[in-house]
A = this chain, B = another copy of it.
Amino acid sequence: MMKIAVDAMGGDHAPAEIVAGAVAAAAQVNGEIILVGREPDVRAELARHLRVPSSLTVHHAEQVVEMDESPRLALRQKAGSSVTVCVDLVRDGLADAAISAGNSGALMAAATMRLGTLPGVQRPAIAVFLPTPLGKRIVLDAGANVDCKPEHLADFALMGSEYAEHALGISRPRIGVLSIGTEASKGNELSLAAHGLLAKMPINFIGNVEGDQILAGEVDVTVCDGFVGNVVLKVVEGTAQGLFGDVKSSLKGRALSRLGALLLRPALRAVAAKYDYAEYGGALLLGTNGVCIVAHGRSDRRAMARAIVAGAQGVEAKVQEHMAEAFQRWNAAATSAPSLSS
């Protein structure tokens, strides 16, 4: 039976909203959800719910990593923290996935150091979904690695390709490198070098893509460094919020507009929800030896429930296993290639 370890103490609204999200997710997940954190606090939160599913269990962890703590220090000084214990449960085979809405640097550091990376993967990356009129699209890295080398982007491309295929069911996903012009000659040092590497990989590489192409849904997976990817994510969020704010305030005071808004409400709500981070739940950390989900720090119960369900789906889709096999094939091909000429 599947087991998901949830960091009950991590996030702006922990533990209340995290526990509430786990209660909601329990109905949708065929397996056990382990709430990791200070047992008295977690039990007190659980007591506020009328019906607590039996598939919800509590695993005590004494320490808590604060949102603004240094991930490196936290990892060294707080081995008993809820986020580290979540990761350790995965490492020890006691859980299939770890989820935290807390200090994302601490989760990544714990995952990288305690689970290790898949053979052939130099750096794990955070993969996020972006909303487009044609469906979800993937961008990675969204913040795990702020300064990257071209080879890192090559790893991201292979991981993203496997993720799109097995998590979104897209066959031969189109992979692009984020740049500022579609011509191969356009870009910065990193994107130009990455373009050269990706062109030789066993993926469906479509070349450079621009920011507006991602949002138009013209590419399935876009690779970039974690600084740029995180900026993209926040800019999408900010533009959508600003736009909806503008629509709302433009309706104030006009009677006919107010009537129109009333009639349109269901449609507008549906679109607004699509551009809301909470719909996407969490971002999968790709490339570590075990499934880890970085949930949004601002996660409420709805976002948390979705993150937990997404984690369960990631486990079911065997994303990490497919990724490990892809890197094995790629490495084998790279190693065997020279011997052909001998």
Residues of chain A whose beta carbon lies under 8 Å from any beta carbon of chain B: 68, 131-133, 143, 146-147, 178, 180, 183, 187-189, 191, 210-217, 225-228, 230-243, 245-247, 249-251, 254, 256-257, 259-264, 266-268, 270-271, 274-275
Contact = CB atoms under 8 A, between A and B. Distances in A.
Number of this chain's copies in the assembly equals: 2
Contact of A234 (B146, B210, B259): B210
A154 to B, nearest CB: 19
Contacts of A214: 235, 238
A187 to B, nearest CB: 7
Contacts of A189: 146-147
A237 B211 contact: yes
B262 A143 contact: no
Nearest to A229: B180
Contacts of A249: 133
Given A238-B216, A243-B271, A251-B267, A146 B187 contact: yes
Contact of A264 (B228, B264, B270): B264
A190 to B, nearest CB: 8
A193 to B, nearest CB: 12
Contacts of A216: 238, 241-242
A227 B188 contact: yes
Contacts of A250: 267-268, 270-271
Contacts of A256: 263
- Chain A binding surface, main DSSP class: helix
Contacts of A146: 180, 187-189
A230 B256 CA distance: 39
A264 B257 contact: yes
A241 B230 CA distance: 20
22 contacts: A133-B246, A147-B189, A180-B227, A211-B231, A211-B232, A211-B233, A211-B234, A211-B235, A212-B234, A214-B238, A215-B238, A215-B241, A228-B228, A232-B235, A235-B235, A239-B239, A239-B243, A247-B268, A251-B267, A257-B263, A257-B266, A264-B264
Contacts of A257: 263-264, 266-267
Nearest to A230: B180
A256 B270 CA distance: 15
A270 B271 CA distance: 19
Contacts of A270: 250
Contacts of A215: 235, 238-239, 241-242
Contacts of A228: 227-228, 231
